[in-house]
Structure 1
Amino acid sequence: MSGYLAGNAVLFSEMSPPAAEEAAFNSWYDEEHIPIRMKAPGFRSAQRYRDGDQRNYLAVYELDDAGALNTPEYARIKGEPSDTTRHMLGAVSGFTRYIGTLLGEPLVQPGADFLAAPVLYAVFFTVPEDSLAEFDAWYCDDHVPLLLSDPRWIGTRRFAIRDGIPEGYNRLALHHLADRKVLDSEAREKARATPWRARLAQQPWFRGNYLVFDSLGPRQTARNDR
């Protein structure tokens, strides 16, 4: 099931509703915003998240590929919003929207359903073009294997960001975790202390944006879910 629900691309979108409209926002997102997108071709599934007790909400949409965002059906969804959608999108703040295409195979614990992980740890980087090859090799060959030495680090997927706002990131890692405590684990400490990472950390661009979210509600799936 997880293999089908995970796609080759993701749409990563955050937004924060006004405090007075938080309940209405959540109902709209669960009952209208995601369900209508699950009818569009190329959309596989979607999971909502929340940043702890903050009013910062995230939705990660799993797509067949980035072309799912260029179909006539999706253009119609975007171009013909309901009155509720128009109001909600006009009221939110902190909006982000990043489209990422999968880099390599997911690195996961054997047999793990990484999409069901209760915590999502997202890491963004802006890497110079001439450093991408080394950065990618370090992440896959050095960093992630050490993280996965703790079974609570359920899996990691890496994406090349092809489009996004408000920042010009070009790399995104989505880490699927069993709990937040693994961020303070010995495995992560070792992963952050290797000579390879230390060499990269000397570069002025090596400054990531780190976000942690807790899953919110059940995963919604496409209408042709099998």
Structure 2
Amino acid sequence: MTEGLLYVLSEPGAVAEEEFHDWYDTEHAPARVGVPGIRSGYRYRALDGARPSWLAWYELELGALVSPEYEVVRRRSPREVSVVSRLETLDRRVYELTDSWGAFDGPAPVVVSVALTGDTDALDEWYREEHVPLLLRMPGWHRIRRYRRVEGSGPDVLAFHEIAGAELFDDPVYRHATRTPWRDRVMATVTTRERRVFGYHNTAGRR
């Protein structure tokens, strides 16, 4: 069993927000969380003012995405065809879990995703030896998971943080964790960086 993450960024664009949410919450998400091996799914709204404004993420076994049941739900209904054709953004990525620290039963109030392309070995060592231990010292920094991209666009690796709130960014421990000499050396190898902050909206498949 290979643990994975289905990570989908979206922007309604020409789709009215009420229509966008009704499609997502009554058709799109329920179909996916009904597939064996897709254990949970959550929807989050951007807190950082950046676009795309919406994130849906699903915890799953990667094998679920090549199952006959998943192939069925990927056949778009006429309604889904209409909505998807009018979306400004639908960015679908699939990741394989490589590391996990901490524990939390979601949904976390806030998630931080940091996607990077750089020196993978240097990133791995820094995360394991310095960055993760520093962050997990903070009460409210619940869990950190790291992934490698196996499908879709975007940077090669993803760090996915589940936290109690955005106020943790003002904590001196956080400021230290993101300003060390080791961090600066590793970041000098990074060619692509994508950092996003999202707040909980709802549990996928539930109104």
TM-score by length of 2: 0.90
| 8 A contact 2:46–2:198 mirrored in 1 | yes
Say whether residues 1:210 and 2:195 are aligned partners.
Answer: yes
Identity fraction in percent: 33
2:184 is matched with 198
Contact 1:100 1:160 survives alignment (8 Å): yes
SS in structure 1 of the partner of residue 152 of structure 2: strand
Q: How does 1:1-226 map to 2 (within 5 A)?
A: 8-18=3-13, 21-52=16-47, 56-64=53-61, 66-78=62-74, 80-104=75-99, 106-108=100-102, 112-127=103-118, 131-165=119-153, 167=154, 169-203=155-189, 205=190, 207-218=192-203, 220=205
Runs of 4+ in 1 over 4 A off after TM superposition: none
| CA–CA separation in structure 2 for the residues paired with 1:179 and 1:68 | 31
Is the contact made by 1:154 and 1:177 (CA closer than 8 Å) also made in structure 2? yes
- d(CA) in 2 for partners of 1:20 and 1:192? 38
Please say if residues 33 and 204 of structure 2, whose CA atoms lie closer than 8 Å, have aligned partners that are also in contact: no
Separation of aligned partners in 1, 2:173 and 2:205: 32
Instruction: Report the Cα offset of residue 94 of structure 1.
Output: 2.3
Q: Give yes or no for contact 1:45–1:220 (8 Å, CA) kept in 2.
A: no
The answer for unaligned runs of 5 or more in structure 2 is: none
Pair 1:188–1:207, CA change in 2 (3 A): farther
CA distance in 2 between partners of 1:163 and 1:218 (Å): 24
Task: Map Cα deviations across residues 142-182 of structure 1 (whole Å, 9 max, x no partner).
Answer: 101101111121111111111112x3x11001111101111
TM-score between the two structures when normalised by the length of structure 1: 0.82
Structure 1 distance, partners of 2:133, 2:10, is 32
Compute the RMSD of aligned alpha carbons. 2.0
Higher share in strand: 2
Structure 1: give runs of 5+ residues left out of the alignment. 1-6, 222-226
What is the CA–CA distance in structure 2 between the aligned matches of 1:99 and 1:180, rounded to whole Å?
26
